[in-house]
Amino acid sequence: MEPITKFAIAADGEVTMYVNHEGTYEHEDLALNQRLSFDASTNQIVLTTTHEDYVQLVAYAQTPDPADDVANFVVTSTTYADLAGTVITKPTDHLADDGIAEDQDHDGSWDDSVSGTAGNDVRHGGAGGDHIRGNDGDDRLFGEEGNDHITGDAGNDTISGGARADVISGGLGNDRVSAIDAIPSTVGDNAFAFVGTAAFTAAGQIRVEQVGADTLVSLNLDTNLATAEMSFILQAVASSTVSAVDFVL
């Protein structure tokens, strides 16, 4: 039987995903290129991941045992489509997977599952969409290529997501998201300037914006002021409480 993934479905149809990590079901934050949808007529949940040139759709259905927990779902199919919606075979043009294992949780959300110990660990995800967990200790975690899920857990961790859309959770402790040059086109490691909720006026700036109950943090790395090169969400954080002291500029 496929591994079980748990889902909570709110009255308005919003879906929350819980994945088994070493025997404990934990809330799974989606990457910026992922969304969950629920079809009440079929009682099916679909996880859609949009890549640069194709879309992956992972369908989940409730476990067949009527005595089982209604929150328990299993993967029933994984399909792929191009950006026009035409079904295609599984793409083969990914970067090589150079992590320690391929999709250990068998849920299609990441390619590698990499965990640390209770000590001070260094872990690399390599290419592909990885799930990296530091566990306790002051860890250094590197997602590198792919849409990664990185969790520091307890300790003062240093986390670098790398390329593409990553989901980062520091956990307890004073954590640092590092290795970001404010203006990559110039020589040296340039510092950022925090502009609050104001619009970008130059390269190398960080701004915040309230989006519902969350704060969207955007980073501008070049002279194109209309588009942020990097962004992340601070969940359940008011933008009014975020200031320059929250960043290592």
pLDDT in tens, 105-160: 434 444 666 777 777 878 777 666 777 888 888 888 887 777 777 888 888 878 87
What pTM was computed for the model? 0.43
Given a cut of 60, whether residue 181 has pLDDT beyond it is yes
Residue 56 confidence (pLDDT): 87
> Could you say which DSSP state residue 184 is in?
T
Mean pLDDT computed over 206-215: 92
Q: In this prediction, what percent of the chain has a pLDDT beyond 70? A: 84
Element holding 113 (H helix, E strand):
strand 112-115
pLDDT computed for residue 111 by the predictor: 60
Q: CB neighbours (10 Å) of residue 107?
A: 22
> Of 79-88, 125-134, 187-196, where does mean pLDDT reach its minimum?
125-134
Sign of CA dihedral 106, 57, 111, 30: negative
Name the β-bridge partners of 52: none
**Which contiguous run of DSSP H or E holds residue 142?**
strand 140-142
Return the residue matching tokens 């915040």.
Answer: 208
In this structure, what token pair is assigned to residue 87? 């079904």
In this structure, the number of other CB atoms found within 10 A of the CB of residue 105 comes to 15
Q: Is the pLDDT of residue 244 over 70?
A: yes
Higher confidence at residue 243 or residue 232?
A: 243
pLDDT at 178: 67
| Range in 40-54, 96-110, 184-198 with the lowest mean pLDDT | 96-110
Residues 6+ apart with CB under 8 A from 216: 208, 209, 210, 231, 232, 233
State phi, psi for 151 to the nearest 5 degrees.
Answer: -125, 125
| The pLDDT of residue 96 | 37
What average pLDDT score do residues 61-80 get? 86
- Residue 221 CB neighbours (<10 A): 20
Please give the structure tokens belonging to residue 214.
Answer: 């969350």
Residue with tokens 């070049």: 222
The dihedrals phi and psi of 240, each to the nearest 5 degrees, come to: -65, -20
pLDDT at position 103 is: 43
The residue that leads in pLDDT, 18 or 112, is 18
Hunting for tokens 């409730």 — which residue is that?
62
pLDDT computed for residue 160 by the predictor: 76
The residue-averaged pLDDT of 41-57 equals 86
Least confident span in 34-48, 62-76, 104-118, 146-160: 104-118
- Pairwise pLDDT comparison (160 vs 2), residue with the higher score: 160
Task: Give yes or no for a contact between 125 and 139, defined as CB atoms under 8 angstroms apart.
Answer: no
Residue 240 has pLDDT above 60, yes or no: yes
pLDDT at site 107 = 40
